[in-house]
Amino acid sequence: MTLNPHVFSLEDTVQDVTEGFVRKHLTSAPVVDKYGKLVHMISEVALIKIFAIDKMLFGNQATLDSRKQLLDVADSVNLSDGVDVVLKQLLKSKLHRIAVIDSSDRLQGIISPKDILRTLQGDQNLASQKNRAQLDESRDKIREAFSEGKSVDGVLDYYQQIYESAPYMIHSVDHAGVIVACNRKMHEELGYLPGMLVGKKIEDLYSEEFHEDVRDSLKVLIQGGGPITVLSEMKMANKGLMAVEVQSSVFLDSHQNVAGTISVTRPLKESFTDMLSKDMENILQEFE
């Protein structure tokens, strides 16, 4: 979000606008009339067209007003518009920039895709960091078990025992994508009876929309990547879906080969649609 974006006037010359774009490293900018009301946007491409024409005809001394037919449409939302309006405008905007205006059509700021991504970035929040700490702890204990000479099956049995009563959701998947260990908390949160998830494939655990992402993540982990964090949705026993953050890593056997994955899951209180809507509302509230 940019609260005081660089603005050009219809009375500015093409030369002044060009210098402003170069000096400020702009890719697009709002254009206002003499009353300060938003009337257009101007992009780099539009400016090149105008510059080329006026270089030949006027030596770049013409104003934007004389070439306003070449300016871009100003996609805008009002401070009172709902989140659905903002999302639709952003998705269809050719410049991927949405001007926020007040009831008098005066520019209040610019919303860009980066503003949305910035608010959605959740990897730095405290809950996510706690999730990562739990994952690291689990991986360390499995590494200790292997160092004591336990087999893979023995380690998984040990793993199931020590994390059966853990207060967070935790499970393990083998190379084939089969759930080989899953604690009580995970069964309870998803509404399954104890042990029902063990032996299921990951496609049985995650909603169909995320199957490809889950398989890709497993492939990356098995090949030695990670740890990785993903936002996904898990199937509940009652056919509902639970939005979750899943942090995953691999554990190695005594020969330092990947034996499987270990994942710590954090339920998210809101669906992805609700979270996006709330984030968008927070952005707009900053303009009020």
pLDDT score of 225: 63
pLDDT score of 167: 82
Question: How many folded domains does the chain comprise?
Answer: 2
pLDDT score of 12: 94
User: Tokens representing 249?
Assistant: 């890593």
The reply to whether 287 falls in a domain is no
How far is it, in rounded angstroms, from Cα 29 to Cα 12? 13
Q: Give yes or no: residues 83 and 147 share one domain.
A: no
Q: Which of 201, 200, 174, 171 is nearest to 183 (CA)?
A: 171
Q: pLDDT by residue (tens digit) across 68-95?
A: 899 999 999 887 776 667 777 887 888 8
Which of 102, 120, 138 terminates a domain? The answer is: 120
The whole domain housing 111 covers 8-120
pLDDT score of 124: 45
Residue 15 has, within 13 A of its CA and on its CB side, a CA count of 7
pLDDT score of 217: 86
**Cβ atoms within 10 Å, residue 74:** 21
The reply to whether 170 falls in a domain is yes
Q: Give yes or no: residues 268 and 130 share one domain.
A: yes
Q: Give yes or no: residues 239 and 164 share one domain.
A: yes
pLDDT score of 288: 47
> What single-letter amino acid sits at 201?
K
| Beta strand ranges found along the chain (DSSP E) | 8-9, 28-32, 38-43, 76-78, 98-101, 107-111, 169-173, 179-182, 228-235, 241-252, 258-267
Q: Give yes or no: residues 200 and 87 share one domain.
A: no
Q: Give yes or no: residues 67 and 87 share one domain.
A: yes
Q: CATH number for the domain including 54? A: 3.10.580.10
pLDDT score of 287: 45
Q: Give yes or no: residues 105 and 173 share one domain.
A: no
Give every residue of the chain whose pLDDT is below 50, as ranges: 122-124, 126, 287-288
* Rg of the chain taking only CA atoms, in angstroms: 27
Q: Give yes or no: residues 183 and 267 share one domain.
A: yes
Does the pTM surpass 0.75? The reply is no
Q: Give yes or no: residues 152 and 212 share one domain.
A: yes
